[in-house]
């Protein structure tokens, strides 16, 4: 089986980055519809948060110098000047030796620079408050702009919007944001042997898995999958489908037909385009070597292995990263440390993705390999994650610490 332009997963992603310029476009959406969307511009604060000095506790707004030396034995005696109603501006300021009651989140009068917690005070009568603890300047107070200052970048271009960013945007009065349009990815499954999952099958036929696998992965990562169904091993039919998909979508994923057998048509289709190019045919990775990375104009076209496990690995190692790069998003992945449970040998010269299940033990987390050939469908469903073994490493030793990437 001959391949050409065999590259590593890293090189494949780099080749696409250098060959394809992002033209995904953007749209304005309500912040309630922006969860997990990728921001396409820097968003700056137009106001301070808070816009006024506010208390972090229930207590009395004071000038800190009026409380110096206060103690249980010698409390500071303060003149009570009323209270600040929540959500209102104080109706009066405080002078020398005076205080105002302020609730948590309430606005401080201009001359107050600290708040004494109510637990450290007693109200002697209608006009007098005793403070048993001194207050330093700034105690229990959030200053103007201490949280967010006007002009601060709140969300950066290429940042995924989580509920926390959305909460900050709401606090700034921003109800709509510009986000990258959801990347539309065509999913094409090829093979004479395939039938839909809801059809009865005859001996020798298999149900289509990869359409559902890839569409689910795309949905999970915030993309918009478009299924073009099952295409037989027919060059003209596949070319017609890829023509249509590359016009309508941002990326085309062809499952099966990426090897070099007599019935594998993906490479022939890619080579037929005058405005297309095969960037790589073969990835130095296990499983998933028979992968094609190509383009047509500014659209990415990938031929993925037909075996579900290999298809899953290529999605994680290449497809997902290419999609995120098109939207200027760099996913931050923090693997889990665990100890491999066995000695594991691999062939040197290509990267390997080893599915593992995690098990708790007295010594910490144990990573147990989940074995299965690339044609098996249940391996990743039994795994919690995978261990990425570099191409220049020949294997893992029992008891060795490894990094597990969560699926």
Q: How do residues 142-184 score in pLDDT, each as one tens digit?
A: 999 999 999 999 999 999 999 999 999 999 999 999 999 999 9
Q: Which long-range contacts (CB under 8 A, 24 or more apart) does 145-153 make?
A: 145/48, 145/49, 145/50, 146/50, 147/49, 147/50, 148/45, 148/48, 148/49, 148/172, 149/45, 149/48, 150/45, 150/46, 150/47, 150/48, 151/44, 151/45, 152/44, 152/45, 153/42, 153/43, 153/44
pLDDT of 376 over the 60 cut: yes
Predicted local distance difference test score (pLDDT) of residue 256: 86
pLDDT of 89 over the 90 cut: yes
What is the rounded distance in angstroms from the CA atom of residue 298 to the CA atom of residue 312? 24
| 367 CB-near residues (< 8 Å, 6+ apart) | 338, 339, 340, 341, 356, 357, 358, 387, 402, 404
Please tell me whether residues 317 and 343 are part of one structural domain: no
Please tell me whether residues 58 and 112 are part of one structural domain: yes
pLDDT of 1 over the 50 cut: no
Q: What percentage of the chain has pLDDT greater than the value 90?
A: 79
Please tell me whether residues 76 and 37 are part of one structural domain: no
Please tell me whether residues 124 and 197 are part of one structural domain: no
Is 346 among the domain residues?
yes
Predicted local distance difference test score (pLDDT) of residue 3: 53
pLDDT of 301 over the 90 cut: yes
In CATH, what number is assigned to the domain containing residue 159? 3.90.105.10
Is 149 among the domain residues?
no
- Of 306, 326, 346, which marks where a domain is finished? 326
Predicted local distance difference test score (pLDDT) of residue 370: 92
Please tell me whether residues 240 and 271 are part of one structural domain: yes
Please tell me whether residues 62 and 118 are part of one structural domain: yes
Give the DSSP H/E element, type plus range, for residue 360.
strand 351-361
Q: Exposed, middle or buried by CB within 10 Å (0-12, 13-18, 19+), for 382?
A: middle
- Domain interval for residue 349: 336-406
Is 284 among the domain residues?
yes
Predicted local distance difference test score (pLDDT) of residue 68: 95
Q: What is the mean pLDDT of residues 66-92?
A: 95
In CATH, what number is assigned to the domain containing residue 270? 3.40.980.10
Number of domains comprising the chain: 4
Please tell me whether residues 41 and 58 are part of one structural domain: no
Please tell me whether residues 176 and 186 are part of one structural domain: no
Predicted local distance difference test score (pLDDT) of residue 133: 96
pTM for the structure as a whole: 0.84
Please tell me whether residues 210 and 354 are part of one structural domain: no
């Amino acid at each position: 089986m001959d391949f050409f332009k065999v590259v590593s997963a890293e090189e494949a992603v780099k080749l696409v980055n250098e060959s394809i310029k992002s033209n995904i476009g953007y749209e304005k959406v309500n912040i309630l519809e922006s969860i997990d969307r990728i921001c396409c511009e820097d968003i700056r604060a137009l106001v301070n948060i808070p816009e006024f000095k506010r208390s972090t506790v229930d207590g009395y707004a004071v000038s800190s110098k009026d409380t110096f030396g206060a103690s249980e034995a010698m409390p500071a005696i303060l003149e009570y000047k009323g209270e600040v109603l929540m959500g209102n501006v104080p109706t009066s300021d405080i002078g020398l030796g005076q205080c105002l009651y302020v609730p948590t989140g309430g606005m401080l009068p201009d001359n107050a620079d600290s708040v004494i917690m109510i637990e450290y005070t007693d109200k002697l009568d209608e006009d007098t408050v005793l403070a048993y603890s001194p207050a330093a300047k700034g105690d229990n107070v959030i200053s103007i702009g201490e949280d967010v200052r006007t002009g601060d970048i709140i969300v950066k271009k290429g940042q995924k919007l989580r509920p926390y960013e959305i909460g900050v945007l709401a606090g700034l009065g921003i109800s709509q944001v510009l986000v990258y349009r959801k990347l539309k990815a065509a999913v094409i499954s090829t093979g004479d042997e395939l039938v839909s999952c809801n059809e009865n099958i005859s001996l020798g036929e298999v149900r289509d898995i990869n359409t559902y696998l890839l569409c689910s992965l795309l949905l999970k990562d915030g993309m918009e999958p478009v299924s073009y169904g099952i295409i037989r091993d027919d060059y003209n039919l596949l070319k017609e489908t890829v023509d249509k998909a590359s016009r309508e979508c941002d990326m085309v994923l062809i499952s099966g037909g990426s090897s070099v057998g007599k019935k594998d048509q993906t490479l022939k289709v890619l080579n037929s385009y005058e405005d297309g190019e095969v960037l790589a045919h073969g990835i130095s990775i296990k499983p998933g070597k028979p992968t094609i990375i190509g383009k047509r104009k500014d659209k990415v076209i990938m031929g993925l292995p037909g075996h579900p496990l290999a298809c899953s690995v290529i999605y994680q190692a290449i497809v997902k990263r290419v999609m995120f790069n098109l939207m200027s998003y760099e996913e931050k992945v923090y693997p889990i440390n665990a100890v491999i449970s066995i000695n594991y040998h691999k062939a040197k010269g290509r990267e390997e993705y080893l599915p593992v299940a995690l098990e708790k033990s007295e010594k910490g987390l144990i990573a147990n390999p989940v074995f299965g050939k690339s044609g098996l469908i249940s391996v990743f469903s039994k795994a919690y994650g995978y261990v990425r073994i570099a191409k220049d490493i020949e294997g893992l030793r029992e008891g060795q610490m490894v990094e597990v990437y969560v699926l």
